[in-house]
Amino acid sequence: MVRRLTAPLPLLALLGLGAAAPANLAVQPISRMDTPWWHQRFAEKQDEIAHGRYDLVWLGDSITQNWERRGPEDWRDFAPVWQHYYGDRHAINLGFKGDSTCHVLWRLAHGELEFRTAPRLFIVLIGANNFGHVHTDARQTYAGIVRIVDQIHARLPATQVLLLEVLPSIRSAWVSENTRTLNRMMVAEVRIGRPWLHLQDAGAALERDGAPDPGRFLDPRLVPPDPPLHPTTAAQQEIARLIEPTVAAILGDRPH
């Protein structure tokens, strides 16, 4: 007897079976609420959003979450730099370690756009993890980033968005090529029809002579070391300095 395949159509699509093309995970809202620390952080951030007033939102992954780190080593003591640039700007950090575009989309759909008053600026830095465990390529990741910025605008039409190009890293040739391709796509396409969107390349903060500089990443200093992905405090401070003219212009305050 021949048994018929009875899997539901969405699963067939995800597996690439049948006529449907494989689904793009980069645009699918995916929860991480089964991860205890992530669940706790999400709940804490929801409480902050519910009870605070924010003009500036940093939205992203571990690079953004690192703004909350307080050493002990100076190369990962980020909090003083955050305080200098954003401490007086009613800012909130919505960075979650390990998040890809799919996880940010879930967060946006579950409360991270429910501000009491509309922020004046979102700074969005996302996409690096798409080239890791989610493993979506440049075109797929681009679709996820576009969906994120469009959802921010749909819910908060008066809010400006500063989208940062994906930062360079030293992980694999495939990751480096897809990072370059993704950034070229954003430069060519993402601002079309989006006057509220600003795009900026801050990758120079992690480069020397046009190539990623291992000394500007904290990962090789860990025990055991990891591939270079996360900026040191000095490099992240340089990112803040590079984007500061745009941030100050949008917020209408003094340059920090």
Residue 167 covered by a domain: yes
Question: Using an 8 Å Cβ cutoff, are 81 and 256 in contact?
Answer: no
Question: Tens digit of pLDDT for each residue in 122-163?
Answer: 999 999 999 998 999 999 999 999 999 999 999 999 999 999
Question: Using an 8 Å Cβ cutoff, are 233 and 74 in contact?
Answer: yes
Mapped onto helix, strand or coil, the DSSP state of residue 222 is coil
Mapped onto helix, strand or coil, the DSSP state of residue 95 is strand
Peptide bond before 224: cis, by omega within 30 degrees of 0?
A: yes
Give the pair of three-digit tokens for residue 72.
């002990």
Q: How many domains does the chain contain in total?
A: 1
Residue 23 covered by a domain: no
Predicted confidence at residue 21, as pLDDT, reads 66
**Sign, CA torsion 190/87/74/226:** negative
Residue 3 covered by a domain: no
Alpha-carbon distance 33 to 167, whole Å? 27
Residue 6 covered by a domain: no
Alpha-carbon distance 48 to 71, whole Å? 24
Residue 75 covered by a domain: yes
Alpha-carbon distance 79 to 67, whole Å? 6
Residue 225 covered by a domain: yes
Predicted confidence at residue 22, as pLDDT, reads 78
CATH number (domain holding residue 142): 3.40.50.1110
Q: Which domain holds residue 180?
A: 28-251
Sheet holding 91-95, edge to edge: 91-95, 56-60, 121-125, 160-164, 197-200
Predicted confidence at residue 2, as pLDDT, reads 31
Rounded to two decimals, the pTM is 0.91
Give the pair of three-digit tokens for residue 201.
């390349």
Query: Can you list the residues of the chain whose pLDDT is less than 50?
Result: 1-18
Residue 166 covered by a domain: yes
Question: Tens digit of pLDDT for each residue in 8-24?
Answer: 334 334 444 445 667 99
Residue 237 covered by a domain: yes
Burial of 230 (0-12, 13-18, 19+ CB in 10 A): buried
